[in-house]
Amino acid sequence: MFEWLQHVRIQTIGNAINAALLITAFVVGLSSTMVFVEARHMSDTWERFDKGAATKAIVLGDLRAALGYGGMIHQISDFILRRDQRRLIDVQKSLRGATIALTRYQSLGTTQRERVALDTVNTAIDEHWARVSLAERLVLDGVAAEDIHLTSGIDDSAALEAFDTLEAELRAARQESGEQVYAATSRVIQLLVISSVIVGTLVAVLLIGFYLFTRVRLTRPLKALGDAMSRLAEGDHDAEIPELDRRDEIGAMARAVRIFRQNAIERRAAEAALQASEERLATILEIAPEAIMAVDAGGVVELFNKGAEAMFGHAAKEIIGQPFDLLIPMRFREIYKRYLRRFGNATTAVRMMDETGDISGLRADGSVFPAQASISKIDRNGEKIFTVIIRDITESTLARKRILDMAKFVNENPSPVLRVTAAGQVLYANPAAREFGALFESADLQVLGASLATTLRQALESGGRGELEFEAESRAFTFTICPVEDETYINLYGSEVTGRKQIQEQLNHAQKMEAVGRLTGGIAHDFNNLLMVISGYARRILSHPDDIEVAGKSLEQILSATEKAASLTKQLLVFSRRQIMEKRVFRVADALGEIKGLLVHSVGESHDVWIEVADKKVCVKTDQSEFSQAIMNLAVNARDAMPEGGEITIGARIEEVTEAATWLHGKIGPGRYVRISVTDRGTGIEEDTMAHLFEPFFTTKEQGKGTGLGLAMVYGFVEQSGGTIDVATELGVGTTFHIYLPVVEQAPEVAAAAQVALEHRGKGETILLVEDDDRLLELTHEVLCDLGYTVFVAGNGLEALELDENLDRSIDLLLSDVVMPSLGGFELYKILLEKRPELKAVFISGYPTRGTGSVEIPESTPFLSKPVSPEELAREIRDELDRSGSPHSGRGERMLSNVSA
């Protein structure tokens, strides 16, 4: 029923008690004041009684004693009778005493009745004084005593009555005082009782309240908390903490106990975790494959795990407590001890004992093994403990030695071995390769770089092997490219092929000489024929000087012969334009058409040459002059197979090579190919010969007739062109060589300079050609050469300036691209004009207008917009060169509308 008390704060209770105590103090104070007032009242009453009635009673007694009525009369009588003076004095004394008492009585305050009674008494005293005086006089006068009758007839009743009245008054006054004192006493008692009751009640209520409060609010929860704390202290963390959701001190204490329990639970969990961790660590320590041991500062072993037991062959109990010297070969003991001392004094906490792994351990059986040790130190109560982790590196030492041996093996390889990234960064190079690198450094980087970057990237993408050739300082190398699977690098295994290369070049040269010889023979014959015609008809004119008709016919024949001779030289020029494998797109039909005349001359008149091209537009991308020579070589072979003469058929047709058919054709992949077939009706090729057919210097021809290089060249050309070659032959029936070249779907690139009209051709003038696009530069260069100009080329403005500096001869015309970074064509022209005021110029631009960027080409300056046809180019150059005077002299600066400033 007092549960509500649980929600009363202790402070509230304290306030209530304080209030009750105040009320109690007030009640006690009030009742004390009232008691004090009553006591004063009683005291006053008593004082009044004491000073009034009580004194009066004494005075009245004195008065009664003084008067003593019967006595007084008796005294007077005695005096009269005996004449004793003393009696008289006694009477007078008594009467004076009575008067004094009377006066005193009167001074004490009197009531009306008292005053009346006192007057009566006073009268009696006066009567006595009168009698005494009379008696004295009578006595003095000697009146006989019997004659003196003074005492008779005295009436004392009034006085006696007055005395009774006074006594009655005194009694009344005493009673009144007594009653007042009694009433005050009663009130005091009443007050005391009431205040006692009130105070008692308050105290009782307070005591009961305090008891209940302490029991409900303090004792019970404190006991519960105390119990909980005891259980917590005993380790019972599940102990129920009373739900004291109170805002007072007990509530705070309950919360503190709850936090304490939470902390205790957490601590227990942490302790459990710590214990588990310690156990785990102990387990790890035990199962670690490394030897782990602890050594104190004196070198005595304190810990020796299972790994250490296995490694050293000692049981832990044998070693623990022993100096660690036991585990170290004799000769190292002093060194290691010194090391430990030094490390102990050093500031580092962890250190590898020997980075090279050359420390040694001693097994129980006396054997020594190489090991790696890392050592750490801890400070335990001022004493240093060293933890040593030892790894047996016998295996890795052996492995390292093996690896070093293997590495030496590659290092000792006299051929270069490289490992490179696709970007060309060298990851590893053996000494031979480094030597090669020194060569490489001084080689023509651009050409090398091109083949390297492209080939490496392709190899890495395809994952297939490839070959790479390098030439540097007259040395040649072949590298086998081996992309490493799942890696981003490529291994290059090289070998020097300088010797082989030289032989190859000699072969090529010899082959060329042979071809030249063959050609010379054929052409000399043709030319002789033509010369014969010319000289013959010329002589005829001379011998018939007057015959116009003969002269006319003869001159026609001569003209015809010279035209044939011109055509012959043209073909010869086309064939002789020998360069390094210059791949470009051309039509097979055109190429065959160009060499047809040459073929006819080469094979001789006893053989017919038929050229059949199925698709006149089909294009291939390879070196056209090599193509021509290959066809020539095959044709010559065909002729040689038919010594008696016969038909040689050269055919070209498109063939789709499927995946399944690629094996038939050797190295080529599936795709569209143009098949060029050279067929003869000759003797056929014997089986023995077939095996060596494409080998250099292999020939079946008579001594002096063949070099054995023709088919080797054909084979090399076809391979380099990404094609293949195969042979179909039957003894006595004939042979067909099939060349497969990949078809390209591009337009032919060859500039048809030959078609340019004669009047637009060059007359040996010098042109400085500047173009930053390599491909265009090459093409334009060729066109200009074909047109009959002497051409100097520059890849950019600075190269042009360089050429200008180094060139002693005059330059007639600058043919330049307009837009080139760093130094544009027009600006270049202006600079060149300073030194060569006669220089003319033609500009070519990729932009259709004369104004590009900050430069505008003046209207008077020849300007061509790309694409430019050879005819257009030839005409423009010719026109500009033929223009009289210096077209730009004196107006260069004015025409310049450079707005860059």
Partner 1 sequence: MSQLDMSLNQLKILLVEDSFESMNLIRNMLKDLGITQVFTAKDGMEALDLLGIFTEEGEIDLVLCDWNMPRLTGVELLRQVRTCDPDMPFLMITGLADYDSVTEAKSLGVTGYIKKPFSLDELEKKLGLVNRILIHRRKQQFII
- What are the residues binding partner 1 (CB under 8 A)? 423-424, 440-441, 445-454, 772, 795-799, 801-802, 805, 820-823, 827, 830-831, 834, 893, 896, 898, 900-901
Quote the least distance from Cβ 819 to partner 1, whole Å.
10
Nearer to partner 1, 331 or 894 (CB): 894
Nearer to partner 1, 161 or 802 (CB): 802
Dig out the tokens for 295 from the structure: 């050594």
Distance between CA 813 and CA 816 in Å, rounded?
Answer: 9
Burial of residue 761 (number of CB atoms within 10 Å: 0-12, 13-18, 19+): middle
Helices 774-786 + 870-882 axis angle, to 10: 60
Nearer to partner 1, 637 or 780 (CB): 780
The whole-angstrom distance between residue 751's C-alpha and the CA centroid of its chain comes to: 59
Distance between CA 480 and CA 495 in Å, rounded?
Answer: 9
For 194-260, list the strands marked E by DSSP. none
Cα dist. 810→16, 165, 341, 791, 836 in Å?
Answer: 128, 187, 88, 12, 8
Nearer to partner 1, 377 or 830 (CB): 830
Quote the least distance from Cβ 450 to partner 1, whole Å.
3
Dig out the tokens for 258 from the structure: 């709850």
Nearer to partner 1, 889 or 898 (CB): 898
Quote the least distance from Cβ 449 to partner 1, whole Å.
3
Quote the least distance from Cβ 452 to partner 1, whole Å.
6
Quote the least distance from Cβ 428 to partner 1, whole Å.
17
Nearer to partner 1, 442 or 474 (CB): 442
Scanning the structure block, which residue is given the tokens 């293997």? 406
Quote the least distance from Cβ 457 to partner 1, whole Å.
9
SS3 (DSSP) at 78: helix
Distance between CA 452 and CA 422 in Å, rounded?
Answer: 9
Distance between CA 609 and CA 71 in Å, rounded?
Answer: 219
Answer for the pair 346, 340: CB distance below 8 angstroms, yes or no. no
Closest CA to 316 of 289, 294, 284: 294
SS3 (DSSP) at 244: coil
Quote the least distance from Cβ 835 to partner 1, whole Å.
9
Answer for the pair 864, 749: CB distance below 8 angstroms, yes or no. no
Torsions phi, psi for 195 (to 5 deg): -65, -40
Nearer to partner 1, 234 or 774 (CB): 774
Q: What residues have CB less than 8 Å from 11, skipping those under 6 apart?
A: 248
Nearer to partner 1, 86 or 775 (CB): 775
Nearer to partner 1, 248 or 772 (CB): 772
Distance between CA 445 and CA 451 in Å, rounded?
Answer: 10
Strand partners, 480: 467, 493
Answer for the pair 475, 435: CB distance below 8 angstroms, yes or no. no
Nearer to partner 1, 644 or 805 (CB): 805
Nearer to partner 1, 704 or 821 (CB): 821
Quote the least distance from Cβ 742 to partner 1, whole Å.
23
End-to-end CA distance of the chain: 106
How many of the other CB atoms lie within 10 Å of CB of 792? 19
Nearer to partner 1, 425 or 703 (CB): 425
Determine if residue 291 is left, alpha or beta; phi over 0 gives left, psi from -120 to 50 gives alpha, anything else beta.
Answer: beta
Quote the least distance from Cβ 495 to partner 1, whole Å.
22
Nearer to partner 1, 190 or 421 (CB): 421
Answer for the pair 555, 521: CB distance below 8 angstroms, yes or no. no
How many of the other CB atoms lie within 10 Å of CB of 898? 13
Quote the least distance from Cβ 893 to partner 1, whole Å.
6
Q: What residues have CB less than 8 Å from 885, skipping those under 6 apart?
A: none
DSSP of 373-412: EEEEEEEETTEEEEEEEEEE-HHHHHHHHHHHHHHHHHHT
Q: Where are the alpha helices (DSSP H) in 68-156?
A: 69-82, 85-107, 112-140
DSSP of 171-208: HHHHHHHHHHHHHHHHHHHHHHHHHHHHHHHHHHHHHH
Quote the least distance from Cβ 558 to partner 1, whole Å.
53
Quote the least distance from Cβ 804 to partner 1, whole Å.
9
Nearer to partner 1, 696 or 797 (CB): 797
Quote the least distance from Cβ 447 to partner 1, whole Å.
7
Distance between CA 896 and CA 160 in Å, rounded?
Answer: 177
SS3 (DSSP) at 819: coil
Quote the least distance from Cβ 424 to partner 1, whole Å.
5
Answer for the pair 493, 482: CB distance below 8 angstroms, yes or no. yes
Nearer to partner 1, 433 or 711 (CB): 433
Answer for the pair 666, 723: CB distance below 8 angstroms, yes or no. no
Quote the least distance from Cβ 429 to partner 1, whole Å.
13
* DSSP tag of 580: S
Quote the least distance from Cβ 510 to partner 1, whole Å.
32
SS3 (DSSP) at 453: helix
Nearer to partner 1, 201 or 451 (CB): 451
